[in-house]
Structure 1
Amino acid sequence: MARVSTERSWCLLVPQHAEGARTARHRLGTELDGTVPRALVGDAEMVAAELLGNAVRHAAPLPGGMIRLTWLLRTGPTADLVEIRVTDGGAAGPPRIRRVGPDAADGRGLFLVAALATDWGVERDGLGQSVWARLVHPARHALAVH
């Protein structure tokens, strides 16, 4: 039986604090669980946690003290794609990968995002700043065939 390509997307506004970020990450994992390979769910949760955490720690909120998490899920016969986008009110400077020493307590977030994602970037518009990441994994069916 051939696997059909599908596409779904979600948008979630949460308060710009640690509990809001945690709620958004759990919601993402719940929506993806059972739909894509478990490894992709875990990677997506990790990327979302890093992007949401950076928005909480380093950026201004959107109006109403919020941050926005959106994600797009595209499943296909050979690969599954999850695009995660966190939008906030922006920061003084653009997000960038930092070089930190082995004993540093933090500063590795975007390094982890870059390692897990196929691609990532930053966009600014009238609303604020969005940091996005695309994760692509072989589809569950494609893994079972080999």
Structure 2
Amino acid sequence: MVVPHHGTGARLARHRLAAELGPIVPAPRLADLVAVLAELVGNAVRHADPLPGGVIRVSWRLATSLDGQRILLRVTDGGAAAGPRIRAADPDAADGRGLHIVSGLANRWGVERDGLGQSVWAEFDPVAAPRPDLVVAG
């Protein structure tokens, strides 16, 4: 999907991701996906140039294996002079923790660059489906 290189882009991407994956991804995993996507789009808006047309490209891919569903999120922007990196944030700082969140919630993340810009991706390992013979009493 393509979203504006603006704060509203993160909101649009979060809502679309939740609508598409909500019915098939467990709620705790969906919350992680939404949080990471919001961070990646927010970072693209704050720190990178837009793609031509003033946009950011956002994608997700769901692959099913015997272990469950592996999910890859990708945010592509026009790049920046300095690439994304985890930085130390002062406890009183208002920002600077976004990639800590991404690193803490995703199993892996990274950056790929080409002649048009950069993509920051985050991958989530499968979440095993609940066992039908396991009953949790509430």
| Residue 84 (structure 1) aligned with residue 46 (structure 2) | no
Instruction: Using the TM superposition, give the Cα deviation of residue 24 of structure 1 relative to its aligned residue in structure 2, in angstroms.
Output: 1.0
Q: Percent identity?
A: 57
Alignment match, 2:121: 132
Alignment match, 2:26: 37
CA–CA distance in structure 1, aligned partners of residues 19 and 65 of structure 2: 20
Unmatched runs of 5 consecutive residues or more in structure 2 = none
Number of equivalent positions: 134
**Aligned counterparts, 1:117-128, within 5 A:** 117-128=106-117
Which SS does the other structure have where 2:125 is aligned?
A: strand
Q: Quick check: 1:78–1:141 contact (8 Å CA) kept in 2?
A: no
Q: Quick check: 1:75–1:139 contact (8 Å CA) kept in 2?
A: no
Unmatched runs of 5 consecutive residues or more in structure 1 = 1-11
Structure number with the higher strand fraction is: 1
Over the aligned positions, Cα root-mean-square deviation in angstroms equals 1.4
Alignment match, 1:67: 56
CA–CA distance in structure 2, aligned partners of residues 88 and 23 of structure 1: 16
Instruction: Using the TM superposition, give the Cα deviation of residue 102 of structure 1 relative to its aligned residue in structure 2, in angstroms.
Output: 1.2
Instruction: Using the TM superposition, give the Cα deviation of residue 82 of structure 1 relative to its aligned residue in structure 2, in angstroms.
Output: 1.1
Which SS does the other structure have where 1:40 is aligned?
A: helix
Deviations 1:42-92 (A, max 9, x none): 100000000000000000000000000011011333222110000000011
Higher-RCO chain (CA-CA 8 Å, sequence separation at least 6): 1
Which SS does the other structure have where 1:57 is aligned?
A: helix
Which SS does the other structure have where 1:107 is aligned?
A: coil
Q: TM-score, normalized by length of structure 1?
A: 0.86
Instruction: Using the TM superposition, give the Cα deviation of residue 145 of structure 1 relative to its aligned residue in structure 2, in angstroms.
Output: 5.2
Structure 1 runs (4+) greater than 6 angstroms displaced: none
Q: TM-score, normalized by length of structure 2?
A: 0.91
Alignment match, 1:113: 102
